[in-house]
Amino acid sequence: MASWFLILIEAVYLVVVLLVCMRIIFDTRSFSKTLAYLLLVILVPLFGIIFYFSFGVNYRKRKIYTKKLFHDDALAVKVKNEILHFSQDTYKDAAAFLEAKRKLIFMVTHENLSALTPNNRVKILQNGENKFPEVLKALKEAKNHIHIEYYIFEDDETGRAVEEVLIEKAREGVDVRFIYDDFGSRSIRRKMSKRLRNAGVKIYPFRRVIFFLFANRINYRNHRKIIVIDGHKAFVGGINVSNKYVNDPRLDNAVFWRDTHLMIEGQGVYYLQYLFLCDWNFCAAENLAPNKDFFPPQSSEPIIGDKMVQIVASGPDSEAPSVLYAMIQIINLAKEELLITTPYFIPGESIIDALIIAAMGGVSVKLLVPGISDSKLVNAAARSYYDDLLRAGVKIYCYQKGFVHAKTMIADGKISVVGTANMDYRSFDLNFEVNAIVYDEEIATQLRNDFLVDISHAALIDPEMWFARPFVKQLMEKTARLVSPLL
If pLDDT is split at 50, 70 and 90, which confidence band does 82 have?
low
Contacts with 406 (C-beta within 8 Å, 6 or more apart), sequence order: 238, 258, 259, 260, 341, 343, 418
Rama region for 113: left / alpha / beta (φ>0; ψ in -120 to 50; rest):
left
H runs (alpha helix) in 44-156: 45-55, 59-62, 73-93, 95-98, 102-112, 128-140
CA nearest to 164, candidates 189, 129, 201, 217: 201
Residues designated catalytic: 223, 225, 230, 405, 407, 412
CA nearest to 183, candidates 213, 149, 160, 217: 217
Amino acid 403: pLDDT? 94
CA–CA gap between residue 243 and residue 245 (Å, rounded)? 5
Amino acid 130: pLDDT? 97
Tell me if residue 226 falls in helix, strand or coil.
strand
Of 38-42, 102-106, 289-293, 294-298, the one with minimum mean pLDDT is 38-42
CA nearest to 301, candidates 291, 309, 293: 293
DSSP sequence for 413-463 = TTEEEEES--EEHIIIIISBEEEEEEE-HHHHHHHHHHHHHHHHTEEEPPH
pLDDT greater at residue 1 or residue 47: 47
Q: What percent of the chain has pLDDT over 90?
A: 54
Contacts with 175 (C-beta within 8 Å, 6 or more apart), sequence order: 144, 145, 146, 202
**In this predicted model, what pLDDT tens digit does every residue of 360-412 receive, in sequence order?**
999 999 999 999 776 677 777 888 889 999 999 999 999 999 999 999 999 99
Q: C-alpha angle 377/315/260, rounded to 5°? A: 65
Rounded average pLDDT over 54-62:
58
Amino acid 72: pLDDT? 47
Per the CB < 8 A criterion, the answer to whether 110 and 85 are in contact is no
CA–CA gap between residue 268 and residue 382 (Å, rounded)? 33
The Cα-based distances of 399 to 239, 243, 360 in angstroms read 18, 21, 25
Quickly name the fold that domain 119-305 has: Endonuclease; Chain A (3.30.870)
State the amino acid at position 218 in one-letter form. I
**Domains of the chain, residue spans:** 2-58, 119-305, 322-486
CA–CA gap between residue 163 and residue 183 (Å, rounded)? 19
Rounded average pLDDT over 311-326:
88
DSSP tag of 40: H
Average pLDDT, the chain: 86
What 446-449 contacts at long range (C-beta under 8 Å, 24+ apart), as own/partner pairs, is: 446/124, 447/124, 447/260, 447/339, 447/408, 447/410, 447/416, 447/418, 448/339, 448/410, 448/413
Amino acid 70: pLDDT? 55
Q: What percent of the chain has pLDDT over 70?
A: 86
If pLDDT is split at 50, 70 and 90, which confidence band does 122 have?
very high
Q: What is the bridge-based pairing of β-strands 364-370 and 337-341?
A: parallel
**In this predicted model, what pLDDT tens digit does every residue of 7-47 receive, in sequence order?**
777 677 677 778 777 877 777 666 667 777 777 777 777 77
296 has pLDDT over 70: yes
287 has pLDDT over 50: yes
Write down the architecture of domain 322-486 according to CATH.
2-Layer Sandwich (3.30)
Could you check whether 119-305 and 322-486 share the same CATH topology?
Answer: yes
